[in-house]
Amino acid sequence: MRIRVIHGPNLHLLGRREPEVYGTTTLAEINRRLEGLAAELGVSVYATQSNHEGEIVTWIGELVEGWDGLILNPAAYTHTSVAIRDAVKAVGIPTVEVHLSNVHAREPFRRKSLIAPVALAQISGFGASVYEVALWGLVRYLRGAR
Which residues participate in the annotated binding site for substrate?
73, 79, 86, 100-101, 110
Q: Of residues 7, 22, 77, 131, which has the active-site annotation?
A: 22
Q: According to the 3-state scheme, what is the secondary structure of 74-131?
A: CHHHHHCCHHHHHHHHHHCCCEEEEECCCHHHCCHHHHCCCCHHHCCEEEECCCCHHH
With beta carbons less than 8 A apart as the criterion, state whether 53 and 84 touch: yes
List residues forming the annotated binding site: 73, 79, 86, 100-101, 110
12 is catalytic: no
99 is catalytic: yes
Name the residue among 112, 119, 110 with its Cα closest to residue 86. 119
Other C-beta atoms within 10 Å of 119: how many?
A: 20
Indicate the SS3 state at residue 12. helix
With beta carbons less than 8 A apart as the criterion, state whether 95 and 88 touch: yes
Q: Of residues 7, 77, 99, 131, which has the active-site annotation?
A: 99
**Catalytic residue annotation:** 22, 99
